[in-house]
Amino acid sequence: MTIKKLPILSFCVILTLLFSCQGVTEKRIIKLGHGLGITHPVHEAMLFLAEKVEEKSGGKMVVRIYPNQQLGSERELVELLQIGSLGMTKVSSAALEGFAPTMQVFGMPYLFRDDEHQLAVLNGEIGKKLLLDPEKYLLRGLCYYDAGKRSFYTKNKPIETPADLAGLKIRVMESNTASNMVKSLGGSPTPVSYGELYTALQQGIVDGAENNAPSLYTSKHYEVCKFYSIDEHTALPDVMIVSTKVWESLTEQEQQWLQEAADESAIYEYKIWAEATEESLSELEKAGVTISYPDKEPFRAAVEPMYTNLKIQQPEIYKIVEEIRAVK
């Protein structure tokens, strides 16, 4: 009796496995890795993106998020995208310039007149073109996230003028533009991974860093750095990018779901970013951080030679600067 039932049982097992495998292949899973903590507003925007993808696809498409550098540093994640081992990541436009040179334009200090000017550029033809420029490097931009304005935070003294940066080691991202900016202001740029920055500040490897208020707060760097000098030297957007190898493997419908979800998450992110910035500044003050607002004009004057050099050395990038400045 057992011998007679065995073939039937085996057949049922095989059928079950076949249908299970079919069910797995029908669900599209995209991995999204990034380096931010789970309390960061940009992480919240990525969760929103994942929810929208699942909602639009009826569960046929899923974005799985791996925060806190679980899958690697910012640079490593971008490299994983290029070989198709990872689907998506959030990257600062400053870090992206090492892969897509036109992105360095966003790192030019005091490029935008105000928030409205920046938004008009990013949502206009210039912004759309720059999103797709990295495609030749196997990366495709989906949308921009607001990353506020970057300012200096330091351990031992506030930065009231460029002269205050003299002799200070300032952490920068892996970005030539960021390094040149700190040099122009008189500081010593020191590239450090974001995930290693807290320890680098504690141990005195660097004397300070530059970033936006939500990042300063959620990273807890304020526990070491008690001075935040809001000079707002750059307004670098974050960029949500997808591997072109992964993008091209998607059906047209799947691409539409993903792009629509990204666009909607960007709108959501801009809203919660504004709220997070206000809340972060309030919490930083409560934590004993001295917040100051130095005169920006000396900083602007100190970095102006960067534009002169850009015009001579990289006229194609300087042309984009001119186009951005012409946007009303």
For residue range 164-212, list pLDDT tens digits in order. Answer: 999 999 999 989 999 999 999 999 999 998 889 999 999 999 999 999 9
Identify which of 167, 140, 168, 141 has the alpha carbon closest to the alpha carbon of residue 152.
168
CB of 269 within 8 A of CB of 145? yes
Query: What integer pLDDT is reported at residue 95 of this predicted model?
Result: 85
Give the contacts of 108 (CB within 8 A, at least 6 positions apart).
177, 234, 306, 307, 310, 321
Q: What's the pLDDT tens digit per position in 52-88?
A: 999 999 999 999 999 999 999 989 999 999 999 999 9
CA distance 295 to 231: 7
Which of helix, strand or coil describes residue 241? Answer: strand
Query: What integer pLDDT is reported at residue 26 of this predicted model?
Result: 78
Q: What's the pLDDT tens digit per position in 245-283?
A: 999 999 999 999 999 999 999 999 999 999 999 999 999
CB of 195 within 8 A of CB of 217? no
Q: Which residue has the higher pLDDT, 323 or 1?
A: 323
Cα 285 to Cα 280, 289, 291, distances in angstroms = 9, 5, 7
Identify which of 327, 326, 151, 176 has the alpha carbon closest to the alpha carbon of residue 235.
151
Query: What integer pLDDT is reported at residue 7 of this predicted model?
Result: 45
CA distance 164 to 154: 11
Q: What mean pLDDT is reported for the chain?
A: 92
Which of helix, strand or coil describes residue 219? Answer: coil
Q: Phi and psi of 159, rounded to 5°?
A: -105, 95
